[in-house]
């Protein structure tokens, strides 16, 4: 047993160094991943909101389906360069060791491309969304052309979709489990477990029903979504909203009408209203900068240019200023 543990430990070490070499232009730094596009750097995050909500990935993705790639600029110069984003099937055969040179040797990338966004200027956060329909090995290619020198900088990051590349580790884990099982059967542990399990079963049946009861009660008590309102911490200002697209859409520019009242429901007329937002759990902002474009009367304000680029928990921050006092209201919504 001791020898087996040593083998597993040695294997972990080997896989660890393997993983460190593995990210191409994306390198881990603490809990974050950094992508280097020439001298440009950005925090690099990948989400699969439908499958794993707020889990952040830097390379290998467990599932197919909707995937969001996010680059939060560290080097602010990236806000002024059009960024090109391409995902190709890995035809280099090099997997995690593929470099930019290997990609250039492939020649025409068009036949291998599964996703391509031509150079796009994003002043805030760069995000692209792609729905993977098949598992496999892929290469991401990110390029940015320097606006003055004209030089093209590129980054390549190999990643896999739909499986975890843990190398031989699962095999060794299975071996260890088998050894443990053998020991257990041999010492009679199984017989004792069977006896305990049988008496536990009858209790389980009832406790499960009791545990579900509060859930039913909660579902019955949930308020209708359109009657929702949010207050500032002092309670002086209250806000509700209606969206031009219902329900609030994913990845679509739309507008909101904010209804702003005092705590007791009197409309707040002609105030200065500003709106921003983001995902607190992902630590990133909105991909757009919404603007209040009109006061519509009766405490209603039109906000244009809202876009949510991924599923999950969002928070909108609304600041209402009138007579030199500002109140801040946070609106929580889950997409």
Q: What residue ranges bind Cu ion (CB under 5 A)?
A: 279, 282, 310
Residue whose CB is less far from Cu ion, 122 or 300: 122
Specify whether the CB–CB gap between 189 and 197 falls below 8 A. Answer: no
Residue 248 Cβ, how far from Cu ion at the closest point, in Å?
15
Residue 127 Cβ, how far from Cu ion at the closest point, in Å?
8
One DSSP character per residue, 286-300 reads -SS--EEEEEEETTE
Specify whether the CB–CB gap between 121 and 66 falls below 8 A. Answer: no
Residue nearest to Cu ion (CB): 282
How far apart are the C-alpha atoms of 63 and 58, rounded to whole Å?
Answer: 14
Residue 314 Cβ, how far from Cu ion at the closest point, in Å?
8
- Angle, helices 169-186 vs 189-221, to 10°: value is 120
Residue whose CB is less far from Cu ion, 2 or 334: 334
Residue whose CB is less far from Cu ion, 112 or 128: 128
In three-state secondary structure terms, 1 is coil
Residue whose CB is less far from Cu ion, 259 or 282: 282
Residue 210 Cβ, how far from Cu ion at the closest point, in Å?
36
Cα–Cα distances in angstroms (integers) from residue 5 to residues 12, 49, 165, 170, 172, in the given order = 11, 36, 21, 14, 9
Residue 29 Cβ, how far from Cu ion at the closest point, in Å?
19
Residue whose CB is less far from Cu ion, 45 or 238: 45
Specify whether the CB–CB gap between 299 and 242 falls below 8 A. Answer: no
One DSSP character per residue, 299-324 reads TEEEEEEE---SSSEEEEEEEEEETT
How far apart are the C-alpha atoms of 48 and 311, rounded to whole Å?
Answer: 9
Residues 6+ apart with CB under 8 A from 40: 75, 77, 78, 81, 144, 153
Residue 316 Cβ, how far from Cu ion at the closest point, in Å?
14
- Could you tell me the strand order of the sheet in which 152-161 lies? 113-120, 83-89, 136-145, 152-161
One DSSP character per residue, 61-97 reads BS--EEEEEEEEESSGGGGGS-EEEEEEE--SS-GGG
Residue whose CB is less far from Cu ion, 240 or 317: 317
Residue 305 Cβ, how far from Cu ion at the closest point, in Å?
18
Residue whose CB is less far from Cu ion, 239 or 279: 279
Residue 312 Cβ, how far from Cu ion at the closest point, in Å?
6
Residue whose CB is less far from Cu ion, 44 or 153: 44
């Amino acid at each position: 047993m001791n020898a087996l543990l040593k083998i597993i430990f040695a294997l972990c070490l080997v896989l660890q160094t393997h993983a460190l070499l593995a990210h191409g232009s994306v390198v881990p730094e603490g809990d974050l991943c950094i992508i280097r596009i020439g001298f440009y750097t950005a925090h690099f995050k990948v989400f699969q909101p439908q499958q794993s909500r707020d889990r952040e990935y830097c390379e290998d993705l467990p599932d197919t389906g909707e995937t969001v790639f996010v680059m939060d600029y560290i080097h602010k110069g990236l806000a002024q360069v059009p960024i090109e984003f391409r995902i190709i099937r890995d035809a280099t055969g090099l997997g995690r060791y593929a470099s930019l040179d290997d990609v250039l040797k492939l020649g025409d990338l068009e036949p291998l491309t599964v996703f391509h966004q031509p150079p796009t200027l994003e002043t805030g956060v760069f995000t692209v969304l792609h729905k993977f329909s098949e598992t496999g090995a892929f290469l991401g290619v990110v390029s940015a052309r320097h606006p003055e020198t004209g030089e093209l900088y590129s980054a390549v990051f190999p990643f896999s979709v739909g499986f975890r590349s843990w190398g031989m580790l699962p095999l060794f884990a299975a071996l260890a489990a088998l050894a443990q099982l053998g020991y257990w059967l041999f010492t009679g542990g199984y017989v004792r477990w069977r006896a305990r399990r049988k008496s536990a079963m009858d209790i389980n049946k009832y406790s499960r029903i009791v545990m579900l009861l509060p859930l039913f009660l909660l579902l019955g008590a949930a308020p209708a979504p359109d009657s929702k309102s949010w207050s500032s911490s002092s309670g002086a200002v209250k806000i509700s909203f209606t969206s031009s697209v219902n329900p609030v859409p994913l990845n679509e520019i739309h507008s909101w009408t904010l209804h702003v009242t005092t705590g007791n429901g009197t409309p707040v007329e002609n105030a200065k209203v500003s709106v921003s937002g983001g995902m607190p759990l992902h630590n990133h902002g909105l991909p757009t900068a919404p603007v209040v474009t009109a006061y519509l009367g009766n405490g209603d304000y039109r906000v244009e240019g809202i876009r949510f680029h991924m599923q999950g928990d969002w928070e909108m921050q609304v600041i209402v200023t009138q007579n030199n006092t500002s109140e801040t209201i946070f609106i929580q919504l889950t997409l």
